[in-house]
Amino acid sequence: MTYILKKRIIYHTRKSVKCISVFFILLAIIIGIVLFKFKPVYAVTISGEIVGYVDNKVNLESRINDEILAHNGNVAFVTMKQFPQYKLQFVNRTQTTNENEILTSLKENAEITYKYYAVTFNNDVKGYLNTLEEAEQLVTEIKEEHKGNLDLNIGINEYYTVNVDDAKKIEETTDIVLAKQEMEQSVDEYIDKENKTVNGIYLATTPVQGRITSRFAAIENVRSGAHTGLDISAPNGTPILAVTDGVVTHASPMGTYGNLVIISHGNGVETYYAHCSKILASVGQKVTSGQKIALVGSTGNSTGNHLHLEVRINGKPVNPQRYLYRNN
């Protein structure tokens, strides 16, 4: 009985081994067929949609870090709206991988923020630079060149943009030489305007071009007291221009002034134009800076053709050369 049981056990064991062997052989055949027709890849999805396949997800992640997320140049930071998800799949061996196309899709999915340094004058941007060091260098140079003139309102602001076209335009102009030229022009214009501003009124226009023949406060035999204005020699008939906007309050002869035009500019500021050969403006007329108001002549107490120019603040004469003809 024991012998028969042993034989049966051996028989069934051999049969089981034979079945298992057949199973593994069949499994190997199936795997071989699968591997012959299919290959393992990673399906890459964004927002649940398959955008492509890659053989190596580690390699793709490395390229994402290097080509999209890396902070270089003027890139301040990069925000990915959606990160890719991976799923291992078997696909037909004819299926191609498309790592480059996936990267393109991811770049379109990313928001890049660019950073520049804006140099400003009186809160207006005059140029953009790539680094803080360049911006500080420019500001230092400008302030040093105009040291002692005025307390210039020059600043540096960080400027961020996510607009690619805007970044490209800025990138084309980020040059310290160009920025300095723009800044210097604005500063020079500002200083010139400040120097020509009296009691808040900007004397924008030189009334005539010519040689100064008598200066403010000069004591001369032709007059009884100190000179209350500035005499500028010019040919008879030379147009006389209003120094800035205002209203004509006088336009007729007045004693030693001869033919005289007086313009009120507001804030107590008045300008006098004397010895004119002809008056072109009329009382009550509103005039603008640079407008013709009279012609040079030699009327009144005069020894030759010239313009007698006065600048008055609340009725008191001040030296016109504080504001006009400063370099004469």
DSSP sequence for 170-220: HHHH--HHHHHHHHHHHHHHHHHHHHTEETTEE----S--SEEEE-TT---
- Residue of 314, 237, 247, 244 whose CA lies nearest to 279: 237
Identify the three-state secondary structure at position 163.
coil
Per-residue pLDDT at 110: 84
Give which of 226, 222, 216, 208 is closest to 297, Cα–Cα.
Answer: 208
- Ranges of each domain in the chain: 114-198, 202-322
Q: Give the H/E segment covering residue 273.
A: strand 269-276
d(CA 317, CA 225): 13
- How many H helices and E strands in the chain? 6, 20
What Cα–Cα distance (Å) separates residue 86 from each residue in 64, 103, 111?
Answer: 14, 14, 22
> Which residue ranges of the chain lie beneath pLDDT 50?
1, 5
Please report the pLDDT score of residue 67 as a whole number: 83
Structure confidence at residue 312 (pLDDT): 97
Measured in residues, the chain has a length of 328
Give the pLDDT score at 289. Answer: 97
pLDDT number for residue 94: 77
The pLDDT score that the predictor gives to residue 150 is 62
What CA–CA distances, in Å, run from 103 to 32, 43, 167? 33, 14, 22
Question: In this predicted structure, what is the pLDDT of residue 10?
Answer: 52
CATH of span 202-322: 2.70.70.10
- Give the pLDDT confidence of 45-91 residue by residue, as tens digits: 888 888 889 888 899 889 888 888 877 778 888 888 888 889 988 87
Q: CA 137, CA 159: separation in Å to the nearest integer? A: 18
Q: How far apart are CA 289 and CA 197, in angstroms?
A: 14
Residue 27's pLDDT is: 62
Handedness of CA 191, 195, 200, 206 (dihedral sign): negative
Q: Angle between the 99-109 and 57-64 helix axes, to the nearest 10 degrees? A: 40
Give residue for tokens 């032709």.
222
